[in-house]
Chains A and B, each alone.
Chain A
Amino acid sequence: MSGAEWGLAVSVFLACTVEAVEALTIVLAVGTTRNWSSAMSGVGAATVALAAIVAALGPALTSLPIDLLRVLVGGLLLIFGLQWLRKAILRSAGLKAKHDELQTFQEEAEAARAAGGKRTGLDGYAFTIAFKGVLLEGLEVAFIVLTFGANQHRVPLAAAAAGLAVLLVVAAGAAARAPLASVPENTMKFAVGVMLTSFGMFWGTEGTGASWPGGDAALLAIIPGVLAAAIAMAWTVRRTVNTAAISDHVATPAKVSDQDKVGDQATVSA
């Protein structure tokens, strides 16, 4: 496989692993508290829907002119990648709550217990929650599979990477019989954000008619460059937040309005 194909496979694998862990938590919660067969029916229906989306849109995307495809794909990957990166950086700085799979599991299980309706036969609640959970978590992965795969005409490779990630997560979940709380989700989201942003920038630029110096080899500079910039931003935001927290701690209660100013000035430098 080429370097770009490895990038495609690793990005899809990581993105799919993160989303599969989140979907697994929801399915485990409704399965254990309501009805396993209905929850698994919901998972099956959502998987079929996602496969249909990929099968229907894949050929349509690959039939587009290459430059148009690259601009569209590059732009979308950039928008997605910047969102993933921003959230990962904010979570690492404590400005956004990290995904807590155990807490999500408890909340979903509590809601499932509180919901009425029958729990034997086809349980509509368990089916719907499992279906929605898998479909919504899987939609972004399906989009990444489509855009990444279509651009390199390797949709099957992207789909295989996604399938492998799902298999591993399901196997780990079955073995643990609990939410996979120890998976470093934020680090993985950070890595996916770097890859999506880098490939989005590369393809988007090529699609506009511009050429990178060195062609595909430019990715060897783009990916480390985006990674370094993102790490620097994460470090700066963490440091700013810590400095603001220390200022808040030592300030006297009478100067509450001044504390706000310190916080605002500090974040401007982020």
Chain B
Amino acid sequence: MTRASALLEGVWEFVVGDDWLTALGVVLALALTASIAAAAIAAWWVMPPAVIGLLALSIRRAARDGSRSR
């Protein structure tokens, strides 16, 4: 592994962590908020349910994996 790829892997691990689906969900939710706001429509309501939903799904995935590995 080259230093550049090791550095990239380290940055990915540091920023995204072990749940890339949640990180992707955050990006998509922000993009949806931006696109609604760009149409001059109130968009603040997108993030609260998106964030709570992402957390619930992330915990559900981890709990399911945990119960299977026990």
Point out residues on A near B: beta carbons under 8 Å.
Answer: 71, 74-76, 78-79, 82-83, 85-86, 89-90, 93, 95-96, 139-140, 143, 197, 201, 204-205, 207-213, 218, 222, 225-226, 229-230, 233, 237, 240-241, 244, 260, 263-264, 266-268, 270
B55 interface hit (Cβ, 8 Å): yes
Number of A-B contacts (CB under 8 A): 121
CB distance from A266 to the nearest CB of B (A): 8
Given contacts A82-B22, A82-B26, contact A76 B47 (CB under 8 A): no
- Decide if A267 touches B30 in the complex (CB within 8 Å): no
- Decide if B48 touches A93 in the complex (CB within 8 Å): no
B7 interface hit (Cβ, 8 Å): no
Residues in B with CB closer than 8 Å to A241 are 63, 67
- Decide if B17 touches A205 in the complex (CB within 8 Å): no
Contact of A264 (CB < 8 Å), options: B43, B47, B62, B67: B67
Give the distance in Å from the alpha carbon of A212 to the alpha carbon of B45 in the complex. 8
17 A-B residue contacts at CB 8 Å?
A75-B26, A79-B16, A82-B54, A86-B19, A90-B66, A93-B63, A95-B62, A140-B14, A143-B14, A204-B33, A205-B33, A205-B43, A205-B44, A210-B36, A211-B42, A263-B70, A270-B60
- Decide if B63 touches A270 in the complex (CB within 8 Å): yes
Point out residues on B near A: beta carbons under 8 Å.
Answer: 14-19, 22-23, 26-27, 30, 33-34, 36-38, 42-44, 46-48, 51-52, 54-56, 58-60, 62-64, 66-68, 70
Give the distance in Å from the alpha carbon of A264 to the alpha carbon of B18 in the complex. 21
CB distance from A204 to the nearest CB of B (A): 5
- Decide if A208 touches B66 in the complex (CB within 8 Å): no
Residues in A with CB closer than 8 Å to B68 are 260, 263-264
